[in-house]
Amino acid sequence: MVAIMKKAKPDLRATIAGAKIVQEKDATWKKLCMMQRLRKRLKRRKIQKENEAILRAAIDDATITSSVSVPKTLAEALPDDAQKKNNDPRAIVVTEATGSFNMIGCNKAWENLCGFAECEIIGKDSSILQGPDTNVDGLRDAVSRLFDGEQKVNVVTTNYRKDGSKFTNFLTLAPLRDDATGKMTHFVAILNDIGESIARKTSQV
Ligand SMILES: Cc1cc2nc3c(=O)[nH]c(=O)nc-3n(C[C@H](O)[C@H](O)[C@H](O)COP(=O)(O)O)c2cc1C
């Protein structure tokens, strides 16, 4: 019996020591994860503050924000009826809701604003509109807010037309849902060139 105890004691000590190491590793891992989450949250808050500052600087009243009505389904965003689709004054583009958000279609107002034809953009992502002054962090944050469940997200960015000319894009992003299931199927964006409105405001100052 004594012999068994003597043999068991060191094993037990090793087991306890092992468990302690596992516990400590667990605690360190949890602390690391917590710090990472905190860092992410702080970064997001900083981006959102910068974004809000850009929005405030771009337009100091809410007229553009509140006047943008957002389609709820793919059929509303890009109707099959070509006349209806192309008479919509809102510059609309629809993307997939996965991957790098490849575009699946746009209307005439979007083509007029961006200079690309619909057939040129299908299967491509919005980076075709981006350049050195694009607010990439703000856009990334806006898209991640859609995934967090926000129904309408605004962001201002500099974009570039096909001919390379710049415009100030007040972008409204929203999810599109399947009518029957309510499941998110795509994202829609409404682009608004607010360059003129900024110029008007600056000339009034
Ligand atoms: C529906 C939709 C429309 C978008 N439209 C534009 C746009 O007009 N201009 C732009 O610069 N980025 C636009 N983006 C954002 C880019 O596609 C991309 O998500 C963003 O630049 C972040 O990309 P990254 O995570 O690869 O850096 C749009 C995204 C979505 C989901």
Q: Where are the domains of the chain?
A: 1-58, 62-204
Q: Name the 3-class secondary structure at 135.
A: coil
Which of 126, 153, 166, when mutated, tests ligand 1's pocket best, judged by the most ligand atoms within 8 Å of its CB?
A: 126
Instruction: Tell me what the pLDDT averaged over the chain comes to.
Output: 86
Q: How confident is the model at residue 21 (pLDDT cuts 50, 70, 90)?
A: confident
pLDDT tens per residue across span 94-153 = 999 999 899 999 999 999 999 999 999 999 999 999 999 999 999 999 999 999 999 999
What percentage of the chain has pLDDT greater than the value 70?
A: 84
Name the pTM for this structure: 0.77
The CATH code for residues 62-204 is: 3.30.450.20
**DSSP characters over 40-94:** HHHHHHHHHHHHHHHHHHH-SSSHHHHH-----SHHHHS-SSHHHHHH--SEEEE
Q: How sure is the predictor about 22, in pLDDT bands with cuts at 50, 70 and 90?
A: confident
pLDDT for the residue 47? 76
- Residues lining ligand 1, Cβ inside 6 A: 93, 95, 101, 125-126, 129-130, 134, 136, 139-140, 143, 157, 159, 169, 171, 173, 187-189, 191
